[in-house]
Structure 1
Amino acid sequence: MKFVRILLKALLGLIVFILLFLAISLAPVDETPYQQMPYYRQTKQRLAQLREPKAGQAPLRAGWAKTNITPPYTTPTGGYGVRRGKHWHIVSDSIYARAIVLSNGTTTVAVVGLDLLITPPTVTEALKKRLPEVGLHWENIYMGAIHSHNSIGGWAPGLVGQLIAGGYDEKIVTRITDGVLTAIRQAQRTMAPVQIGFSQTDASDLIYNRIGNAGPTGPLDGAVRLLKLQKPTGESALLCSFAGHATLFDGSNGDYLSRDYPGSLVDRLEKKSASFAVFLAGAVGSTGPKATGSTDFQEIRNYAGALATRIERTVPQIQTHSDSTLALLTLPLGLREPHPRVIGNWRVRPWLFYAIYGDYPSDLKALRIGQTVLLGTPCDFSGELAAELNPLATKKGVNLMVTSFDGGYIGYVTPDRYYNRQTYETRDMNWFGPYNGAYFQEMMVGLLKKL
């Protein structure tokens, strides 16, 4: 009987502990409309206070360079899913940091593309401290990533970081940061007058909407967008964006370090269409690639080839011209409290989320180069939401490129009408609650109008 009493007390204590933990760890979802929230008013005020861009003093000059950041040792794989930080053992593709530096005599901007899953928030924080080494600040930087799920990991501390990118290694953060700064320095040394031009080609048939498995969806943004920079010497650079997820490597095939299809595409573009190319993942939130091939490598080659063929038909038609328009706006984003849902409509409280993920600031970026505007988001941004922004850009007479992974990372931002769908994108990866689709669109429209 004594043993039974001890066992019952232990069980009662365990139950009390679990109930207390749940009470301090979980809370119901806050469905207050975002327009009534303090974070919205704060961000809207910051938007209103952004200074108008200054006119350029001279036509655009630009330079470009890339730095190989492939580690000389194996690292965890950054790529979610079944990889879970498994180390790669074979280098299929070298990994680079790429930079295009532009200046009009008034403003200097560096566009940085990383051959990584995302722009790691830890790298962003390191760059904010170290960018003065190359004469720049965070407000001069526009960042993006190719979103390969088989690239270098190890750059995110915490439990969530372990699941996304494997065990944390500060040396990897330093290596990536050093690579970015080196690419910027080298690009600065190659600056020369450039003419610019823009075009796009449709590749909607190469993507599908993953949320469509749970019900009807709207049109995706399936355009391949191309910004061309041409020097008097004939050297040229292509800035390319597209919204297909770089997931052609199967999740269980984590043995390879790879840039997936964006790497294969950039390599081909640099052989046939330009001296230099940078790929930035577009609005990839919920977009999957339609693959053809019997192996991962065949799928990558075929997919990159399908995109390259369309680009190669388009590039010769791009008309370039001299321009002095260059402006970059950085809008620090306020956000609702963290809202990862775990049980029904119950979500993790902020203290627990920040303990297992970290608390990183996030921005929206707006970059204007001539008649082209790039809007950078700190997330997997929805291709449906991006498509809804295109009519306004057309009305304003500018070319629009929406990109993901600009420095922070807050999970997925998808249309609000899907918030309660039981999908990976809308539930597992929606980290900051309802109404972010409309909130992000409103702030992005505000930035577009500012430029």
Structure 2
Amino acid sequence: MKFVRIFLKILLGLVAFILLVLAVSLAPVDDTPYQQMPYYQQTKQRLAKLPASPAPKAAIRAGWAKANITPPYSTPTGGYGARQGKHWHVVSDSIYARAIVLNNGSTNVAVVGLDLLITPPTVVEVLKKRLPEVGLRWENVYMGAIHSHNSMGGWAPGLVGQLIAGGYDETIVTRITDGVLQAIRSAQSNMAPVQIGYGQVDATDHIYNRIGDSGPTGPLDGKIRLLKLQKIANPDRTQGESALLCSFAGHATLFDDDKWNYLSRDYPGSLVDRLEKKSADFAVFMAGAVGSTGPEARGKTDFQEVRNYAGDLALRIERTIPEIQLKSDSTLKILSLPLGLREPHPRVIGNWRIRPWLFYAIYGDYPSDLKALRIGKTVLLGTPCDFSGELSAQLQPVAAKKGFNLLITSFDGGYIGYVTPDSYYNRPTYETRDMNWFGPYNGDYFKEMMMGLLNKL
């Protein structure tokens, strides 16, 4: 009997401990409409107070450059938790930080594309301190990433960072940051007057909606979107070097999770390399609205899939480029909207989510922004997430009515998981449950704020 009493005491103590842990770690989902939440009012006030851009003093000048950030040592291969931090050992292709710098005499902007899974929040925190070295502030920088799941990891601390990008290494953060600053400096050194043009071509057949297995879905934004810059060679105003900014919504996941041994830019890298051989002197790719989109690939091996996928996108781009009409323009505006969010809401059991203190302990607490950049008649909207291709498709007509060419990108600096249509919130999918980190109604909330930024421009 004594043994039984001891066992029962231990069991009751264990149950009490588990209940205590659950009480301090879990909370029910807060489904209060976002318009009634303090974070919404705060962000709306920030949007209203965003300053107007100064009047241009000259036509846009631009320069571009890239910096090789491939480390001379092996790092974790970022992108799939199933890899458990394994390192790449073969450099399939080098990775870069790429920058396009623009100036109209009153506004100075840097567009930065990273050959990484995302724009690491740790890199952003360092950049905010170091950008004055190149005469910029964070508010004047528009960032994006190619979203390759086979690029360099090691840039995120914490348990979630370990799952996404492998073991944390601060020297990798420094290496990426140094590369960004080097690319900006080099771009600033070769600026010249430019003509600007926009083009797009449909490639919807190259993507599918990964949420589709859970029920009906809406149309995706399947356009390849292009912004071309052409330098004017003085004094005869002949055409000089050209740059091409390219965005598409296909997830860069053609390398499977068992190909951790290769460092690669996936199909965006192959696409950029081809564009720089045939279509432009310089190219930069930014992942578009990739939230819930998967690539429709063809090939017997991952390497064949990459070549075929990039090759077909390149062919469509090459047919489109001659149709792009170029002209000089002086309109250059950038807005940076600090984004308030609901408390962290990763769900673990039914409609129960972990409490904020636990989320921040395993992920970190990083600020996030929405970015808006207007270059002539083209507007880039940057989001701190895997932004839904369905939401992007819904925003395109709004921009068109205002006379804008709209190019939406993901991974602008912070990272808050996936943002998908609100009606999918309770679907049991990876995108809507595992990767929805900040609760319900973010789809409509993001759309409202992004439309607000369009109105400001």
TM-score by length of 1: 0.99
**Which letter does structure 2 place at the counterpart of 1:306?**
D
Task: Report SS of the residue matched to 1:93.
Answer: coil
Quote the residue 1:345 is aligned against: 351
Tell me the distance in 2 between the aligned counterparts of 1:131 and 1:385: 32
Quote the residue 1:43 is aligned against: 43
The within-5 A match list for 1:139-288 is 139-233=139-233, 234-288=240-294
Tell me the distance in 1 between the aligned counterparts of 2:4 and 2:120: 52
Q: CA deviation at 1:409?
A: 0.2
Quote the residue 2:135 is aligned against: 135
Q: CA deviation at 1:80?
A: 2.5
Quote the residue 2:377 is aligned against: 371
**Which letter does structure 2 place at the counterpart of 1:271?**
K
Tell me the distance in 1 between the aligned counterparts of 2:13 and 2:259: 45
Which whole-Å deviations, capped at 9, do the CAs of 1:77-100 have from their partners, x for residues lacking one?
A: 110332232111110010100000
Counterpart among 419, 439, 442 of residue 436 in structure 1: 442
Quote the residue 1:125 is aligned against: 125
Q: CA deviation at 1:11?
A: 1.8
Q: CA deviation at 1:142?
A: 0.1
Tell me the distance in 2 between the aligned counterparts of 1:264 and 1:3: 68
**Which letter does structure 2 place at the counterpart of 1:429?**
M
Quote the residue 1:106 is aligned against: 106
Tell me the distance in 2 between the aligned counterparts of 1:135 and 1:326: 17
Q: CA deviation at 1:6?
A: 2.5
Tell me the distance in 1 between the aligned counterparts of 2:9 and 2:71: 54
**Which letter does structure 2 place at the counterpart of 1:387?**
A
Tell me the distance in 2 between the aligned counterparts of 1:424 and 1:319: 41
Quote the residue 2:236 is aligned against: none
Unaligned runs of 5+ in 1: none
**Which letter does structure 1 place at the counterpart of 2:361?**
A
**Which letter does structure 2 place at the counterpart of 1:218?**
G
Tell me the distance in 2 between the aligned counterparts of 1:396 and 1:80: 40
Q: Which stretches of structure 1, 4 residues or more, deviate above 6 A after TM superposition?
A: none
Quote the residue 1:11 is aligned against: 11
Q: CA deviation at 1:323?
A: 0.3
Q: CA deviation at 1:8?
A: 2.2
**Which letter does structure 1 place at the counterpart of 2:448?**
E
Tell me the distance in 1 between the aligned counterparts of 2:368 and 2:60: 29
**Which letter does structure 2 place at the counterpart of 1:119?**
T
Tell me the distance in 2 between the aligned counterparts of 1:391 and 1:309: 27
Tell me the distance in 2 between the aligned counterparts of 1:370 and 1:277: 19
Tell me the distance in 1 between the aligned counterparts of 2:48 and 2:136: 24
Q: CA deviation at 1:51?
A: 1.0
Which whole-Å deviations, capped at 9, do the CAs of 1:199-218 have from their partners, x for residues lacking one?
A: 10000010000000101100
Tell me the distance in 2 between the aligned counterparts of 1:4 and 1:63: 78
Tell me the distance in 2 between the aligned counterparts of 1:85 and 1:407: 22
Number of residues of Structure 1 aligned to a counterpart in Structure 2: 451
Task: Report SS of the residue matched to 1:235.
Answer: strand
Q: CA deviation at 1:162?
A: 0.4
Q: CA deviation at 1:283?
A: 0.2
Q: CA deviation at 1:244?
A: 0.3
Quote the residue 1:59 is aligned against: 59
Tell me the distance in 2 between the aligned counterparts of 1:411 and 1:382: 11
**Which letter does structure 2 place at the counterpart of 1:295?**
T
Quote the residue 2:317 is aligned against: 311
Unaligned runs of 5+ in 2: 234-239
Task: Report SS of the residue matched to 2:32.
Answer: coil
Tell me the distance in 1 between the aligned counterparts of 2:157 and 2:130: 20
Tell me the distance in 2 between the aligned counterparts of 1:381 and 1:33: 20
Task: Report SS of the residue matched to 1:402.
Answer: strand
Tell me the distance in 2 between the aligned counterparts of 1:243 and 1:257: 22
Residue 392 (1) aligns with residue 434 (2): no
Which whole-Å deviations, capped at 9, do the CAs of 1:254-285 have from their partners, x for residues lacking one?
A: 11000000000000000000000000000000
Which whole-Å deviations, capped at 9, do the CAs of 1:80-132 have from their partners, x for residues lacking one?
A: 33223211111001010000000000000000000000000000000001000
Quote the residue 2:237 is aligned against: none
Task: Report SS of the residue matched to 1:284.
Answer: coil
Tell me the distance in 2 between the aligned counterparts of 1:11 and 1:253: 45
**Which letter does structure 1 place at the counterpart of 2:88?**
W
Residue 335 (1) aligns with residue 341 (2): yes
Tell me the distance in 1 between the aligned counterparts of 2:5 and 2:299: 64
Quote the residue 1:407 is aligned against: 413
Which whole-Å deviations, capped at 9, do the CAs of 1:5-63 have from their partners, x for residues lacking one?
A: 32322222111111000001000000000000000000000000011122210000000
Task: Report SS of the residue matched to 1:231.
Answer: strand
Task: Report SS of the residue matched to 2:232.
Answer: coil
Q: CA deviation at 1:137?
A: 0.5
**Which letter does structure 1 place at the counterpart of 2:297?**
A
Counterpart among 289, 306, 320 of residue 295 in structure 2: 289
Q: CA deviation at 1:73?
A: 0.4
**Which letter does structure 1 place at the counterpart of 2:393?**
A
Counterpart among 407, 422, 435 of residue 428 in structure 2: 422
Q: Which moved more, 1:317-326 or 1:439-448?
A: 317-326
**Which letter does structure 2 place at the counterpart of 1:112?**
V
Tell me the distance in 1 between the aligned counterparts of 2:173 and 2:108: 25
Which whole-Å deviations, capped at 9, do the CAs of 1:396-432 have from their partners, x for residues lacking one?
A: 0010000000000000000000000000000000000
TM-score by length of 2: 0.98
RMSD after superposition: 0.7
